[in-house]
Structure 1
Amino acid sequence: MKKVLEVVISSKDSNKDLWSKSIESARNTIHTRDMSDDELIKIAMGSADPISFNTVIKLIYRFTRTNPNGHQGVECFFNSVDESPYSLSQWIEAIEFFSHWLDENKRTTPWPTLLGYLSCCTESPENKNIKHNLKHLLKDMLETYGYEG
């Protein structure tokens, strides 16, 4: 695992120390029964920066603390990505945006509900003829329809 993480960290352009600390903290925080090393690495590789990585890890961690089968949160995340036309990177970017939006509006939402809203965004009629950037699509959906989750 350590060698793979070194490869992940070295593939990132900047903030290598922050990346290292973030990945190490994630591995120490989320038990391997809830997130495998491979899943952790996939999220790190799909994250543009340590901040977006930490946001996703924080949300998954919250789910694992309130659910006896914490791995369901990770499975739900990767299944949502796999069932959409969007990349893991775009999902992570949108999740970070959504998390900030929730914070700014002094709101919280369960992890599966957040993922469900994003999945609905990917299937929206506004996204059928022209594939929009997922973060921008989410922003438009929040402005137009709000969020009840």
Structure 2
Amino acid sequence: MRKLILLGLLAATVAPSVASAQSYGEARRSERQLREEKRDLRQAQRYGDRRDVREQRRDVREARREVREDWRDYRRSHRNVYRGGNWRAPFRYTAWNTGARLRPAYYSSRYYIADPYRYRLPRPGANLRWVRHYNDVLLVNVRTGRVMQVHRGFFW
């Protein structure tokens, strides 16, 4: 009986969080709707009266707030993707710039980002790998060790 009650309580606490999880597609759709509302506002400013413009501005503000909340929900429900911080490496942090040459210890296979699509990074070309360096992401040519591209603070 006790296990059944605990199982029911666990299901009651997990179900709402699963139902409210925001998908990437939903967040993108709300962003697209915001762009459409902004376009409508510009048209209303050109051709409409002041009352319509005020209402449109209010709608755009609300849509902007909803988009921020949607992305916040998406990041909250996908914490494992956006987690930063405890990145341990056998070397100190260095702010690398494009064109710098790295030693192989900095871009060994243990620091590769295995699935760049999960992080919405573009597909690396031949002999290129996305490498995590603390909270930064570097696109490194693994043959020469040259940094091709840098995204600072990618993992917050």
Q: TM-score range by the shorter chain?
A: under 0.3
Tell which structure's C-alpha radius of gyration is larger.
2
Higher strand share: 2
TM-score normalized by the length of structure 2: 0.20
